[in-house]
Amino acid sequence: MTESTVRIGLVLPDVMGTYGDGGNAVVLRQRLRLRGYDAEIVEITLSDPVPDSLDIYTLGGAEDSAQRLATRHLQRYPGLQEAAAKGVPVLAICAAIQVLGQWYETSAGERVDGVGLFDVTTAPQVKRAIGEVTTTPVLDGLTAPLTGFENHRGGTKLGGDAAPLARVTRGIGNGVGDGLEGVVQGSVLGTYLHGPALARNPELADFLLCRALGVTELPPLDLPEVEQLRRERLRA
Ligand code: GLN
């Protein structure tokens, strides 16, 4: 690793990373390498403090008990919060939205204090949200429909400081009946989309990379298999 290596933090893959969410870090690394950047994934496990010095961070989904362990670790080592305060991009998938929120309630009805990066709260809903999701982004800088697979019982309500990522056109999304999907607050972006989300939504991957690199655009990549996956998922 050199000074100029772009360092991608894969946060707590030992407890958070259902449905291959760790693939988001691999997609970021590959899209950087194809453009000539040096890029590495730094895995931060429950045995490590969380560094604040990385260029971008990703966190995956998790079941309730794993989610609790992650919450406690992130509160004990606040490197992620310090990085976010500096404007470093963070991608949070599914349970990670809940962990980074104000509080969430587990399926057993226990309320757990979150990390507080998102002004959101999450409570279990009567019906589990499961299946394919398609959305129209509302975040400036994104134009292509987003697709993914959701599987969560928690429904997430946005507070005044949190903005939605997208509007749902198919599926459930945040799950509190407002038709919204995901959350954006400062440099931290959350979505319920598994997939992994960045393999299925390359525009979102490049959006995050531009923020990590401090550039306004990146040269396009000609990846026919990625385009084919997108077409298939939009038709599915
Ligand atoms: N345990 C959380 C819920 O059901 C998150 C699940 C997930 O990350 N897929 O809401």
Q: Is the CB of 66 under 6 A from ligand 1?
A: no
What's the CA dihedral at 18, 62, 192, 211 to 10 degrees?
-80
40, 5 contact by CB (below 8 A)? yes
113 CB less than 6 Å from ligand 1?
A: no
What CATH number corresponds to the domain at position 103? 3.40.50.880
Structural domains in the chain (count)? 1
Q: What residues make up the domain containing 151?
A: 5-235
Query: How far apart are alpha carbons 138 and 181 in whole angstroms?
Result: 10
- The alpha carbon of 16 and the centre of ligand 1 are apart by a number of angstroms equal to 10
> What pTM was estimated for this model as a whole?
0.97
Q: Hey, which of 64, 103, 157 would you mutate to test ligand 1's pocket, going by the most ligand atoms within 8 Å of its Cβ? A: 64
Is the CB–ligand 1 distance for residue 18 below 6 Å? Answer: yes
Averaged pLDDT, groups of 10, the chain, 236 residues long: 91 94 98 98 98 98 95 98 98 98 95 98 97 98 97 98 98 98 98 96 98 97 92 87
CA-based nearest residue to 78, from 146, 11, 16: 11
Q: Does ligand 1 come within 6 angstroms of the Cβ of 97?
A: no
Q: How far apart are CA 205 and CA 144, in angstroms?
A: 12
Catalytic residues, by residue number, are 94, 194
> Tens digits of per-residue pLDDT, 40-83?
999 999 999 999 999 999 999 999 999 999 999 999 999 999 99
| Residue 72 is assigned to a ligand binding site | no
Q: Name the closest-CA residue to atom 8, ligand 1.
A: 61
- φ, ψ for residue 188, nearest 5 deg: -105, 125
